[in-house]
């Protein structure tokens, strides 16, 4: 029986602007895919990301280029060849996982040999702002176990100290989004120790990885923009202590699980992150996040309104979506 593939652009207004070193956004633009076969429908979502040269029209065109293959039965293994890692492959791969699980009557966690998902700690992210406003934002979520703060090259010390003062008990992740240089990173080492920062995420531009060959950081450094797929790990060994797995980079859950296995084998700390999008994009990532040292899946937390039945957040804890939301029926 042939499948029916549909792909749609959706826009999700944010509750407040989300600002990082590269810019600010007020809407999350996603691509939603549905694969229908018989009485079953599998869904997936991705976030085209301009940092990687992606746009909504481009991702929709990539999906359209493999429509015939998918509708005539191409599977997840075929998809690894048909499309490169990225948002288009992510939406299709996760829709296939969902469809397969519904057709088999076996949820994704069981297919992976795992128990049902449980609540997990997820970082709540503080948008880049003045130290005073970031302190106020931190105070509002001070009971969260893990807080991530966005910084740039201007006044990072003041911002980190302001957040730490407002949230003295939380573990902190600092994310400069490639905005620092090596001199600033060296200067920031005492500040990171002073404020008990647990992880620094991609401080330098991705094409500067080699400068870490002769640098021993005071706190672990996590590769985000520098790490997309398992094949990236050999050049990251000895340079980074952690890697951030995002399904929009790996091209779906299939690639994310491959990267997870390889990263664990190489001794990297694992972080699982996301772009800003709905719970449909987060649900597959939970099956990787359950194995991570750091979870940063608060994308839906930023939306004015999420999909019905999606994840929920309670004081920095992420509660899985309702049964049957994604990954098979209850």
pTM above 0.95, yes or no: yes
* Catalytic residue list contains 148: no
pLDDT tens digit sequence for 172-221: 999 999 999 999 999 999 999 999 999 999 999 999 999 999 999 999 99
Nearest one of 61, 54, 65 to 87, comparing CA atoms: 54
Answer yes or no: is pLDDT of 37 > 90. yes
Containing 242, the helix (H) or strand (E) segment is: strand 242-245
| Segments making up each domain of the chain, as ranges | 4-111, 120-319
- Mean pLDDT, to the nearest integer, of 84-106? 98
| DSSP character at residue 282 | H
Answer yes or no: is pLDDT of 329 > 90. no
Q: What angle do CA 228, 3, 45 make, to 5 degrees?
A: 35
Give residue 65's pLDDT band: very low, low, confident or very high (50, 70, 90).
very high
* Catalytic residue list contains 150: yes
Cβ–Cβ < 8 Å for 224, 202: yes
- Mean pLDDT, to the nearest integer, of 288-310? 98
All residues at 6 or more sequence positions from 71 whose CB lies less than 8 Å from its CB, including other chains: 2, 3, 4, 5
Q: Does domain 4-111 have CATH number 3.90.950.10?
A: no
| Distance of alpha carbon 245 from alpha carbon 296, whole angstroms | 10
Task: Give the active site residue among 25, 133, 148, 246.
Answer: 246
| Distance of alpha carbon 289 from alpha carbon 122, whole angstroms | 9
Beta carbons within 10 angstroms of residue 112's beta carbon:
15
- Mean pLDDT, to the nearest integer, of 280-299? 98
Q: Do domains 4-111 and 120-319 have the same CATH topology?
A: no
Instruction: Please give the mean pLDDT across all residues of the chain.
Output: 97
| Distance of alpha carbon 272 from alpha carbon 289, whole angstroms | 5
Q: What percent of the chain has pLDDT over 90?
A: 98
Q: Does domain 120-319 have CATH number 3.20.20.120?
A: yes
Cβ–Cβ < 8 Å for 87, 49: yes
Give residue 330's pLDDT band: very low, low, confident or very high (50, 70, 90).
low
Environment class of 67 (CB within 10 Å of its CB; exposed 0-12, middle 13-18, buried 19+):
middle
Task: Give the active site residue among 25, 148, 150, 249.
Answer: 150
Answer yes or no: is pLDDT of 21 > 70. yes
Answer yes or no: is pLDDT of 18 > 70. yes
pLDDT of residue 328: 85
Q: What percent of the chain has pLDDT over 70?
A: 100
Give residue 1's pLDDT band: very low, low, confident or very high (50, 70, 90).
confident
């Amino acid at each position: 029986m042939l499948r029916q593939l549909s792909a749609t652009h959706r826009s999700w207004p944010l509750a407040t602007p989300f600002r990082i070193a590269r810019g600010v956004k007020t809407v999350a633009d996603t691509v939603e895919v549905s694969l229908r076969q018989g009485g079953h429908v599998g869904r997936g979502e991705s976030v085209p990301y301009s940092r990687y040269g992606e746009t909504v029209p481009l991702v929709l065109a990539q999906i359209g280029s493999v429509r015939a293959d998918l509708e005539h039965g191409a599977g997840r293994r075929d998809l690894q060849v048909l499309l490169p890692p990225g948002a288009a492959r992510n939406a299709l791969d996760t829709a296939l996982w969902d469809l397969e699980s519904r057709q088999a009557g076996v949820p994704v966690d069981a297919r992976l040999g795992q128990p049902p998902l449980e609540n997990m700690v997820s970082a709540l992210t503080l948008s880049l702002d003045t130290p005073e406003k970031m302190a106020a934002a931190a105070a509002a979520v001070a009971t969260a176990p893990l807080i991530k703060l966005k910084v740039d090259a201007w006044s990072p010390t003041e911002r980190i100290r302001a957040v730490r003062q407002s949230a003295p008990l939380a573990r902190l992740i600092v994310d400069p989004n490639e905005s620092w240089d090596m001199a600033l990173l060296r200067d920031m080492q005492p500040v990171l120790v002073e404020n008990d920062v647990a992880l620094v995420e991609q401080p330098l531009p991705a094409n500067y990885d080699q400068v870490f060959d002769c640098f021993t950081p005071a706190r672990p450094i996590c590769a985000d923009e520098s790490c997309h797929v398992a094949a990236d790990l050999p050049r990251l060994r000895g340079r980074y202590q952690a890697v951030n797995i995002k399904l929009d980079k790996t091209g779906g859950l299939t690639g994310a699980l491959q990267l997870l296995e390889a990263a664990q084998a190489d001794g990297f700390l694992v972080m699982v992150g996301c772009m800003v999008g709905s719970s449909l994009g987060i649900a597959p990532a939970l099956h990787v996040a359950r194995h991570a040292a750091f979870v940063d899946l608060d994308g839906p937390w930023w939306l004015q309104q999420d999909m019905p039945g999606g994840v929920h957040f309670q004081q920095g804890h992420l509660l899985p979506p309702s049964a049957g939301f994604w990954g098979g029926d209850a």
